[in-house]
Structure 1
C-alpha cells in the first residue's frame, strides 16, 4: 500500500543510508537530493528505491566512493570524461554544470562519459537544464548489460538504452523520457518483486516467444525485454538502441569491446542554448503554441485529455510540495529493510 512522507525526512534517510554505506557527505547529499526529486516527479522506480541497489554496490566497492572524474578530452564544445564508476548522480550534476556553462558561451556543448555508475532518472537530470532555459538531451547505456535482444534474435545483447530530452515551456519544462526497449529493467524488477506479470507481452522467453512473465530474465536460457514496437515493429526500437549505444559508447571510445563486467553507465549529454539560435522567447512561443494545440486536441476519452510530456511530472511535483512524497508499498518494503539493517529509524507516514 502506498504511503506519503515528508520530503525532508526521506532525503535525510536516503543521505544517511548512503553515508553509512561509505559515500562522503557531499556525494551522499547530491545523490539523495536527486533521488528525492525523482520521487517528487512521480518516477518512484528511480527515486529512493535505488538506494537498495546502490548499497550492495558500495559494500563491494563496485561504486567508487572517493575521488573525482577524469577529463580525457576538452575541446571547449566537446568533452570526454571518465566517471571512474563514481555515483552517477554526482557525476551528472557536475557534467550538467560544465555543459550549461559552455553552452552559455558557445551556444551548445556535448559530452561523452565512460565508466560512470548508474545515473538514475534521466528526466530528473534534463529538468535541471530545462528549468534554466536550455535544451538538454541525455542518452545512457551499460556496456556490461545484456537485457534486450536485437530484433529477430532471442539472445539478450543490448541494455534498455534510455534517452531523454528536456526543454523550456511557458509554465514548466517539456520532459520527454523514453527508452529503446518496450519497458525498463526497473519495471521488470518491480513486477518480479511484487509477483505480478505485465499486462501485455513485453518480454521474450529464451526460445523467442513473447510473454507477460518478467521472470524470464532469470531463467535459462535467459529471456529478454522486447524493443519498442514489440514483436511486430521491434525493428524501430532496435534501431533506436543501436543509436544510443553509438552515442554513448562509440563516441566515448569505450564499451562492449572492452567487455566490462561491473554495473556502470556510459552517457552522451548535449546542452543547447536557444538564445544562440532564434532566441529563448521565440523558442518558448513556438513550444507553447504546439503544446496548447496538442492539449486542445479532441480526446478519444473525454476523461483522459491529451497531455504533454512533463505535465504529469509538474503536477506530481506541485502535489509533493503541499502533500508530501508518495511511495508505493514495494519500494517501502525494500527501503524499510535497508533502514532496519542500518539501525536507522524509518520516517512516520503523514
Structure 2
C-alpha cells in the first residue's frame, strides 16, 4: 500500500520547512511549489527528494537564503543576472515571468542567470509561459558537476545539461524535458541506494568500458551522452550548445572552477503574436499535435503520445486523488522536520501496490 498526500498540504509543509530553515517567504514558497510540482508530474528524482539536499545547503550557506540577483546587463529583450547562489526554483520562475512580460513588448526575450543554486525539473516552469499563449525554452547546466563524458571520451566534462520547451497548441501544451545525457546523476544515485542496475549500458567505467552499474560514477566512470555508444555525437552536440547558451551567455561557469553546487540557466520566451500571429501559430502547432497523436502505433505501443502528456495526466490525477511520493522521501525529511519544528503531513489515503 502506498500513502497518498494532498498536494496543497505537501506544498504547505515544504514551504514551512524551508521558511523555518531560513529562506525568505517568497523563496520558500517557490521552492516548495516547484518541488511538489515535479512530484505531481512524475519527475520524482527532482521533486521533494531534493529537499533534504536543499535544507543542508541552506544550513551550510551554499544556498543564499535572502536577497535579489544582481543585474549584470539589461537591454530590454536581453537580460543577464548574477544569481548569487539564490534558490534556483525562485530565480528560474522569476526569469520566466520576466521573459514573458518582456516578450509581450519585444516579441522575444532572454534571461541568462549565472551562479544560481539548483532548480529541479525544468518542465515544471513551462506552463508559466504556455498558459499565456507564449512559447518558452529553458536550458540549464551545472558547472560544478562533470559526470558526462564527451562522445568518444571517458572522463566527465559536462553535467546532464537539460533543456525544456513549452509549446502552446490550443489544447494541452507540448512540454518537452530532455537532457544531453542518456541518464542523470540523480537517477544514478537513487539506483545505487536501491541496489539496482540499469537495463542498458548507459555509463562508462573508469577504463571507458560500457557499464550498467551506477556505482561506476563514484569510481571514476561517467554518464554517456544521449544517443549512447553509437550515436552519442547527438547528445555531445547538445551539451556543447547548452553549456554555451547558459554558462557562456551568463559569463560564469567552468572557467571559474566552482566547487559548491552552482547552475547557469537561460530562459527564452517568444510571443507568437509578434511573428506570424498567435492564431496562425496555434493552427500549425495544433495540426502537428493532432497528426502525432493520430499516427498508427508500432507493435507493442498502445498509442503515440506527445511529450508532457503523461506528466500532465499524472498531475491531474494527483490533484484529484493525492500524490504518491517515491518511497523514502518523507522519511528522509523527518529528521529535518523534527529539528525545525514542522509537523509531517498526514496521509490522505492509500493506493494498493
The interval holding the TM-score normalised by the smaller chain is over 0.9
Q: Which residue in 2 is equivalent to 1:245?
A: 243
Q: Which residue in 1 is equivalent to 2:224?
A: 226
Q: Which residue in 2 is equivalent to 1:155?
A: 155
Tell me how far apart the structure 2 counterparts of residues 197 and 72 of structure 1 sit (CA, whole Å): 44
Q: Does 1:299 align with 2:293?
A: no
1:86 positional shift:
0.1
1:348 positional shift:
2.3
TM-score (norm 1): 0.96
Tell me how far apart the structure 1 counterparts of residues 217 and 330 of structure 2 sit (CA, whole Å): 24
Residue correspondence of structure 1 range 316-335 to structure 2 within 5 A: 316-335=314-333
Write the deviation string for residues 286-340 of structure 1: whole angstroms up to 9, x where unpaired: 1111111111111114652000012112211211121011211143432344334
Q: Which residue in 1 is equivalent to 2:269?
A: 271
Tell me how far apart the structure 2 counterparts of residues 197 and 333 of structure 1 sit (CA, whole Å): 24
Tell me how far apart the structure 2 counterparts of residues 122 and 267 of structure 1 sit (CA, whole Å): 10
Residue correspondence of structure 1 range 145-224 to structure 2 within 5 A: 145-219=145-219, 222-224=220-222
Conserved in 1, the CA contact under 8 Å of 2:97 and 2:128?
no
Tell me how far apart the structure 1 counterparts of residues 130 and 3 of structure 2 sit (CA, whole Å): 30
Tell me how far apart the structure 2 counterparts of residues 42 and 144 of structure 1 sit (CA, whole Å): 26
Q: Secondary structure at the match of 1:45?
A: helix
Q: Which residue in 2 is equivalent to 1:314?
A: 312
TM-score (norm 2): 0.95
Tell me how far apart the structure 2 counterparts of residues 257 and 23 of structure 1 sit (CA, whole Å): 29
Q: Which residue in 2 is equivalent to 1:112?
A: 112
Tell me how far apart the structure 2 counterparts of residues 247 and 78 of structure 1 sit (CA, whole Å): 13
Q: Which residue in 1 is equivalent to 2:344?
A: 346
Q: Does 1:236 align with 2:234?
A: yes
Conserved in 1, the CA contact under 8 Å of 2:62 and 2:260?
yes
Conserved in 2, the CA contact under 8 Å of 1:131 and 1:172?
no
Q: Which runs of no fewer than 5 residues in structure 1 stay unpaired?
A: none
Q: Which residue in 2 is equivalent to 1:101?
A: 101
1:343 positional shift:
4.3
Conserved in 2, the CA contact under 8 Å of 1:2 and 1:328?
no
Q: Which residue in 2 is equivalent to 1:45?
A: 45
RMSD: 1.5
1:124 positional shift:
0.6
